[in-house]
């Protein structure tokens, strides 16, 4: 007799299962079974368990009943198919949708992968006319924000009382009715900078309806200065768009255009195009950088001039004087130039730079950064115009946007009491408004504050307004919208998932407040599109499918510089004295990890090392070694070119930075390469919230809040600061405690002239490596036979010349490969989990060093040292040359990591995936077994459900959603490392075999597989592919003369090789790097090399140049 269980029974979890046995024990059938010699059959029982299974379980139950040994049996799992099959859905096959990530005045075109309805991986949209498929690291990490357990999940009214959605929407309608009555008097909108045609259209509609309503925009880090300056300079609204790929000579005036300026990922792509060297004689651009901080762009400079950030405009004026011949500008430029006293070396630098620019003419470009005042931007435009670069390297896009007020103007209105209803759309002004605006008080003066926010953050928590409504904001992956990308092309923002917590989009809130007919954001976007491209449904479908509207790029109209306008503005320029150690200059900058604070609760970004300082989970008070010496704070180790660490741990002195009455305290970090008497503070840290990742300024918090020092008048450069040391220290976590290569040829560099002389210079450096113990192994490598079975042989080449160190690959890898967050305390112990390590080395002069970056990941050695020492064969080679890890086999001896010369293996010391997020803060990670949560002992909980871990239920569910289903989530005690994105390789191979069917065509075509890092790299620095195919990109890259193997003398035959870096400094500028790069100089001194280090030594142990392709397949 069988019974049919009800359609949705509760799952048979451990405890319930055993309880049901207890109940069975009372039944007569059970007694009968006990008395019988052989049981008659399990079908007598009403439990849905087979007889065989039942007997087995019963025998165990007598021993273990009550202990809950659920691990002994496989749990019953149900398959829940659809009741009605949706069309075009195949379970197990991921779907991809085109969308875009709006960010300030621009957007990044994306293709997002969705697995069973969960967005899991973000990639750039390579179809888009202005994209190669690369993204920046923020875009890669933004998917984690979608599943942030601290995000706003409810509608709330005054005092944080949860409200119903309908209630909130009714309130919005009542505001709309009132505004319709009085024309919007007393209604103010404060939003972030956006660039959405629909958003602009809705604003225009509302402005027409409510003529009295006022509009304001605030961005704590604002790139709009570039538009503002171009508009002044050219006398009409234009946005400058820089074509670095057309440039031969680039001058950056404190512009971090390769990392933290707007559209940096595009700039990287364009810049990289000018740095690809295939052979001697290839052209290469030259990058001049004038800056006060040490930025990523500065680290990639060929010639770098370190001056205080406030002095950059004066340097710019000096250069402009040599180039701009227009008479009206001479006087104001001279005045600005005179304000900066140049040393002899600086004079020659400026003169040579100007000469180079002038020589290059229309092929040169000058850019100024967002930290610089308008005048610096105007000078840049004046130089570009004089060079004839406008129209070649600088395009001016026409631009038509509604005008908005500033935050300071809004604060004035609020203080005057003329604001009834303040609508704050996104942003977080209570946290990031300039300190002198006293925003918390000002905001409280509005009668009603309606706040659309992704988090219930400082702005929502501020309880000063009489009425405050909080509306949860939808993530962009949950929203309908549109946006213009950098080139002005319209791209759709389409949702991949319904709002997880019922969030609203900015468009919908605006439409409801405006009392518009259509409030559904999809309909609004659809209607905007109708206005842009007509009513054709097919065009709309193509728009959504492709992710952009072809031909909608902004028109680049001609424009000529208005010298009179520029002269007028330059004449009124404010000049600043050079800072001294008594009157320091504080420079605020956008954080590489937190942006302006918006990613503060994103654990992936918190754990991404800053490319220059290599700090994680913290910001610091940055200053040059000389400044620190003068002030007597901090400790610095000149030989290591890094801050002093004791046993690998950084305990840094806390200093107080004060400007007038305002002060902040933070740990000091000595940064070689910064201008003297400049203090750098990155924004976005020290949040006054108590979330799982972002925390306030206490011991376990993340960083300190630089906004407390900022004023509206001096948002980026504040003069007159003082720094005093305190006796307190703060533990900092840095992923690299040594900044020097100590003369080892790990990164190989040459100046362009040396490359021209010997293109194979990188291989020549092999000869000076320590001698290999044996050139030929005693035994034949078994892999040589084994690899004949493989259809493909995978290999990778990383071009150090185009890699700028932006970290997009690191985040892409984290997202693709389910890499957990370790937490600050664990990183301090060296337990970071990132598979890609971005090494940053300093060389040369401690005060003015050169920096070089190297992406270090598993090298997939053919003769892998890790494999020989694994006692359980958990790491082994496959026939296609991958060094693979079988996690289920690994027992965690860590021998492999010990034996890895590249130190690229990562060990799961703790169950990182099962920890609650808020335990990441450290300092102590409680033992999982001996911990009691909610009165329940961990051990007891573990017996009941070993899968759950310590996480709160909702957090567990949310974070599980971001995981890539094709990659195993590793547990404690397991070693892991880069797999060359094995899952992508296998999927491509399977797809090819499915396509082949009963035929032999199983070789995956070139270009089908892209590893996650390669895909995300905006520079295209990573090449991956099949070495068996002589025509594949990677095979060609291995033939590049710059190709070399790291630690070649170990004869590990890595499949990953590097293309050596070539610098292109101006030989006439004497800055001690003009003869050879700093790393090479160090190498020469350390190894006592006589003569030319790059000369090829014949008859040596190692590879003659002919062996340049030491990629592993020979």
Partner 1 sequence: MSDIFPKWTNKLPRAIIVGAVLVGGAVTAGVTYYFTPKYTRVGYQPIQPVAFSHAIHVDQVGLDCRYCHTAVEKSWYSNVPASSTCMNCHNQILKDDPKLEVVRDSFNTGKSIPWVQIHKTPDYVYFNHSVHVNRGVSCVECHGQINKMDEVYHAKPLSMAFCLECHRNPELRLRPTDKITDLNWKWDEDPKKNAEMQKANGTKFVHDWNVRTSQSCSACHR
Residues lying near partner 1 in the complex (CB under 8 A) are found at 2-5, 7-9, 48-50, 52-53, 56, 74, 76-85, 90-93, 789-791, 876-879, 882, 884-889, 966-968, 979, 982-983, 986, 990, 993-994, 996-1002
- 866, 900 contact by CB (below 8 A): yes
Strand 615-616 to 717-734 pairing: antiparallel
DSSP characters over 775-810: SS-SSPPHHHHHGGG-S--EEEEEETTT-----HHH
Q: Does the bond joining 212 to the residue before it have cis omega, within 30 degrees of 0?
A: no
Query: Shortest gap between Cβ of 1012 and partner 1 (angstroms)?
Result: 13
- 529, 482 contact by CB (below 8 A): yes
Which phi-psi region, left, alpha or beta, contains residue 1099 (left: φ > 0; alpha: ψ -120 to 50)?
A: left
Tokens at 291, concatenated? 């800056």
Strand 1056-1059 to 794-799 pairing: parallel
Nearer to partner 1, 283 or 889 (CB): 889
Query: Shortest gap between Cβ of 949 and partner 1 (angstroms)?
Result: 15
Query: Shortest gap between Cβ of 37 and partner 1 (angstroms)?
Result: 21
Burial of 418 (0-12, 13-18, 19+ CB in 10 A): middle
- Residue 306 to residue 312: CA distance in whole angstroms: 9
Nearer to partner 1, 129 or 973 (CB): 973
Nearer to partner 1, 762 or 982 (CB): 982
Tokens 């609204």, residue located: 237
SS3 480: coil
- Residue 975 to residue 967: CA distance in whole angstroms: 14
Nearer to partner 1, 3 or 1031 (CB): 3
Q: To 5 degrees, how large is the angle CA 144–CA 962–CA 892?
A: 105
Tokens at 414, concatenated? 């609020």
Query: Shortest gap between Cβ of 727 and partner 1 (angstroms)?
Result: 52
- Residue 121 to residue 113: CA distance in whole angstroms: 5
Nearer to partner 1, 34 or 990 (CB): 990
Query: Shortest gap between Cβ of 791 and partner 1 (angstroms)?
Result: 6
- Residue 810 to residue 794: CA distance in whole angstroms: 20
Residue 1101 DSSP class: S
- 761, 1091 contact by CB (below 8 A): no
Tokens at 1030, concatenated? 């002589």
Query: Shortest gap between Cβ of 2 and partner 1 (angstroms)?
Result: 5
Query: Shortest gap between Cβ of 836 and partner 1 (angstroms)?
Result: 18
Nearer to partner 1, 470 or 792 (CB): 792
Nearer to partner 1, 5 or 777 (CB): 5
Nearer to partner 1, 35 or 77 (CB): 77
Q: Which residues contact 197 (CB under 8 A, 6 or more apart)?
A: 482, 484, 490, 528, 532
Query: Shortest gap between Cβ of 980 and partner 1 (angstroms)?
Result: 10
Nearer to partner 1, 77 or 537 (CB): 77
Nearer to partner 1, 11 or 160 (CB): 11
* Strands laid side by side in the 303-306 sheet: 303-306, 286-291, 249-253, 364-368
Tokens at 599, concatenated? 């990613």
Nearer to partner 1, 59 or 173 (CB): 59
Tokens at 389, concatenated? 């670069």
Nearer to partner 1, 2 or 698 (CB): 2
Query: Shortest gap between Cβ of 964 and partner 1 (angstroms)?
Result: 10
Query: Shortest gap between Cβ of 586 and partner 1 (angstroms)?
Result: 49
Task: Please state the length of the chain.
Answer: 1114
Query: Shortest gap between Cβ of 945 and partner 1 (angstroms)?
Result: 16
Nearest to 925 by CA among 1029, 821, 845, 841: 821
Nearer to partner 1, 742 or 911 (CB): 911
Query: Shortest gap between Cβ of 273 and partner 1 (angstroms)?
Result: 34
SS3 870: coil
Which element (helix H / strand E) includes 242?
Answer: strand 238-242
Tokens at 29, concatenated? 């059938």
Query: Shortest gap between Cβ of 81 and partner 1 (angstroms)?
Result: 4
């Amino acid at each position: 007799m069988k019974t049919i269980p009800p359609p949705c029974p509760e799952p048979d979890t451990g405890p319930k299962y055993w309880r049901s046995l207890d109940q069975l024990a009372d039944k007569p059938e059970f007694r009968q079974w006990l008395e019988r010699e052989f049981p008659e059959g399990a079908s007598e029982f009403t439990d849905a368990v087979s007889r065989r299974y039942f007997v087995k379980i019963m025998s165990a139950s007598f021993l273990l009943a009550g202990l809950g040994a659920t691990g002994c049996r496989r749990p019953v799992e149900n398959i829940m198919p659809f009741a009605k099959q949706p069309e075009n859905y195949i379970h197990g096959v991921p779907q991809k949708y085109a969308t875009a990530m709006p960010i300030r005045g621009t957007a990044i075109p994306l293709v997002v992968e969705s697995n069973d309805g969960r967005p899991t991986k973000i990639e750039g949209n390579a179809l888009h006319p202005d994209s190669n498929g690369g993204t920046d690291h923020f875009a890669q990490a933004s998917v984690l924000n979608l599943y942030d357990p601290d995000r706003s999940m409810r509608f709330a009214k005054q005092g944080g009382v949860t409200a119903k959605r309908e209630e909130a929407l009714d309130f919005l309608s009542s505001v709309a009715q009132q505004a319709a009555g009085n024309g919007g008097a007393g209604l103010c909108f404060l939003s972030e900078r956006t660039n959405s045609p629909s958003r602009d259209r809705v604003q225009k509609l509302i402005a027409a309806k409510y003529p009295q309503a006022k509009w304001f925009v605030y961005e704590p880090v604002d790139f709009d200065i570039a538009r503002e300056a171009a508009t002044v300079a050219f006398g009409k609204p234009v946005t400058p768009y820089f074509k670095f790929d057309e440039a031969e000579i680039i001058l950056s005036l404190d512009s971090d255009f390769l990392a933290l300026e707007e559209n940096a990922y595009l700039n990287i792509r364009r810049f990289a195009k000018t740095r690809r060297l295939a052979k001697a004689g290839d052209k290469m651009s030259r990058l001049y950088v004038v800056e006060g901080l040490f930025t990523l762009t500065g680290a990639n400079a060929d010639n770098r001039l370190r001056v205080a950030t406030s002095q950059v405009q004066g340097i710019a004026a000096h250069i402009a004087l040599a180039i701009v011949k227009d008479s009206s500008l001479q006087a104001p430029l001279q005045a600005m130039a005179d304000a900066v006293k140049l040393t002899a070396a600086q004079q020659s630098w400026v003169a040579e730079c100007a000469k180079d620019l002038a020589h290059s003419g229309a092929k040169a470009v000058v850019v100024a950064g967002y930290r610089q005042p308008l005048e610096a931007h105007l000078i840049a435009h004046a130089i570009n115009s004089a060079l004839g670069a406008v129209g070649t390297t600088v395009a001016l896009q026409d631009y038509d946007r509604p005008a908005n007020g500033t935050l300071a103007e809004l604060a004035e209105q609020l203080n005057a009491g003329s604001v009834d209803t303040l609508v704050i759309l996104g942003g977080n002004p209570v946290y990031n408004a300039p300190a002198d605006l006293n925003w918390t008080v000002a905001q409280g003066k509005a009668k009603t504050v309606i706040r659309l926010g992704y988090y219930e953050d400082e702005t929502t928590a501020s309880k000063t307004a009489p009425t405050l409504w909080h509306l949860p904001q939808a993530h962009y992956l949950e929203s309908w919208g549109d946006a213009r990308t950098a080139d002005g092309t319209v791209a759709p923002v389409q949702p991949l998932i319904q709002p997880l917590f019922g969030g609203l989009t900015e468009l919908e809130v605006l439409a409801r407040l405006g009392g518009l007919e259509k409030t559904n954001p999809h309909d609004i976007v659809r209607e905007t599109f109708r206005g842009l491209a007509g009513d054709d449904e097919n065009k709309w479908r193509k728009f959504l499918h492709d992710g952009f509207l072809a031909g909608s790029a902004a028109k680049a109209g001609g424009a000529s510089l208005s010298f009179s306008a520029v002269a007028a503005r330059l004449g009124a320029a404010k000049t600043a004295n050079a800072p001294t150690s008594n009157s320091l200059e504080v420079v605020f900058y956008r954080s590489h990890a937190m942006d302006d604070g918006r990613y503060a609760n994103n654990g992936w970004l918190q754990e991404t090392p800053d490319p220059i300082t290599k700090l994680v989970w913290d910001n610091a008070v940055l200053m040059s070694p000389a400044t620190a010496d003068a002030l007597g704070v901090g400790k610095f180790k000149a030989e290591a070119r890094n801050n002093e660490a004791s046993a690998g741990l950084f305990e840094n002195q806390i200093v107080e930075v004060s400007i007038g009455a305002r002060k902040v305290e933070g740990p000091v970090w000595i940064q070689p390469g910064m201008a003297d008497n400049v203090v750098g503070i990155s924004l976005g840290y020290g949040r006054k919230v108590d979330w799982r990742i972002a925390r306030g300024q206490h011991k376990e918090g993340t960083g300190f809040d630089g906004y407390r020092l900022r004023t509206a008048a001096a948002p980026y450069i504040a003069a007159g600061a003082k720094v005093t040391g305190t006796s307190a220290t703060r533990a900092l976590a840095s992923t690299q405690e040594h900044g020097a290569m100590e003369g080892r040829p790990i990164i190989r560099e040459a100046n362009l002239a040396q490359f021209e002389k010997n293109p194979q210079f990188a291989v020549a450096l092999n000869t000076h490596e320590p001698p290999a113990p044996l050139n030929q192994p005693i035994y034949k490598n078994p892999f040589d036979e084994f690899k004949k079975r493989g259809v493909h042989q995978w290999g990778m080449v990383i071009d150090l010349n185009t890699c700028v160190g932006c970290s997009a690959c690191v985040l892409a890898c984290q997202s693709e490969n389910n890499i957990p967050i370790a937490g600050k305390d664990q990183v301090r112990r060296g337990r970071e989990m990132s598979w890609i390590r971005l090494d940053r080395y300093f060389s040369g002069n401690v005060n003015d060093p050169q920096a070089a970056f190297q992406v270090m990941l598993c090298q997939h050695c053919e003769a892998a040292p890790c494999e020989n020492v694994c006692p359980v064969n958990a790491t082994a080679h496959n026939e296609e040359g991958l060094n693979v890890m079988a996690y289920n086999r690994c027992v965690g001896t860590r021998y492999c990591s010990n034996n890895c010369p590249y130190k690229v293996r990562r060990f799961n010391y703790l169950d990182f995936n099962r920890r609650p997020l808020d335990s990441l803060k450290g300092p102590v990670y409680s033992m999982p077994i001996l911990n009691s949560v909610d009165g329940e002992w961990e051990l007891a909980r573990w017996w009941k459900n070993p899968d759950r871990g310590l996480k709160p239920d909702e957090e567990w569910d949310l974070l599980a959603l971001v995981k890539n289903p094709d990659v195993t989530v590793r547990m404690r005690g397991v070693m892991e490392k880069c797999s060359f994105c094995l899952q992508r390789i296998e999927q491509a191979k399977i797809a090819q075999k499915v396509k082949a069917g009963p035929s032999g065509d199983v070789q995956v075509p070139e270009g089908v597989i892209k590893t996650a890092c390669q895909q995300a790299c905006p520079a295209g620095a990573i090449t991956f592919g099949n070495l068996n195919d002589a025509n594949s990109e990677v095979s060609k890259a291995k033939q590049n003369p710059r190709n070399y193997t790291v630690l070649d003398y170990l004869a590990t035959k890595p499949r990953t090789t590097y293309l050596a870096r070539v610098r292109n400094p101006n030989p006439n500028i004497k800055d001690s790097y003009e003869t050879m790069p700093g790393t090479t100089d160090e190498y020469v001194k350390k190894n006592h090399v006589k003569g030319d280090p790059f000369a090829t030594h014949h008859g040596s142990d190692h590879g003659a140049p002919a062996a340049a392709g030491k990629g592993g397949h020979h």
